[in-house]
Amino acid sequence: MAFHPYLFFGGTCREAFTRYQEIFGGELALVTAADMPPEEQMPGASPDAIMHAAITTADGALLMGSDDPTSDSVTVQGVQVNVSVSGVPEVTRIFEALAEGGQVNAPLGPTSFAAAFGMVTDRFGIPWLLTTDEPPT
């Protein structure tokens, strides 16, 4: 069994996933509304709206998302996307990249359970929980 985050956006999915690919690497696949067969078209969706986005990283991680054709804004409640990486330098790089234009909810720093942990909501409204798998010092 595997659980994979699926993120919804109010028209910024392409921009968000392009940025996420810059941050996390991996292969990016985008399917627009115009790419969908006629019988699967979403009423009211712009032809440029992203109906499915996916980033697959070299280690098999999968992040997916799409634009919500029913809304120009999406509020995320009750969930955070957890990213755990090896090494404080790598988690610091990712944290700072996601924080760019967003909001730091808990500064990145050492905790009782990890050498580095922090929380940020990125400029697209997605809340992230970042940690390193290094034990505390």
Q: Where in the chain is the domain with CATH 3.10.180.10?
A: 6-67
**Where does 33-102 show beta strands of DSSP type E?**
50-56, 62-67, 81-85
Residue 51, token pair as written in the block = 């109906």
Banded model confidence at residue 3, pLDDT cuts 50, 70, 90: confident
Tens digit of each residue's pLDDT (9 = 90 or more) over 67-120: 987 777 778 888 999 999 999 999 999 999 999 999 999 999 999 999 999 999
Tens digit of each residue's pLDDT (9 = 90 or more) over 25-72: 999 999 999 999 988 887 778 889 999 999 999 999 999 999 987 777
Q: Which CATH number fits domain 6-67: 1.10.40.30, 3.10.180.10, 3.30.70.1150, 3.40.190.10?
A: 3.10.180.10
Which residues lie below 8 Å from residue 75, measured CB to CB, with a gap of 6+? 125
- Return the SS3 of 20: helix
Q: Which pLDDT score, from 0 to 100, does residue 30 have?
A: 98
Longest C-alpha distance within the chain, in Å? 57
Q: Where in the chain is the domain with CATH 3.30.720.110?
A: 81-132
Domain 81-132's class? alpha beta
Predicted model pTM = 0.92
Q: Residue 106 corresponds to which amino acid?
A: A
Nearest 5°: phi and psi at 62? -135, 125
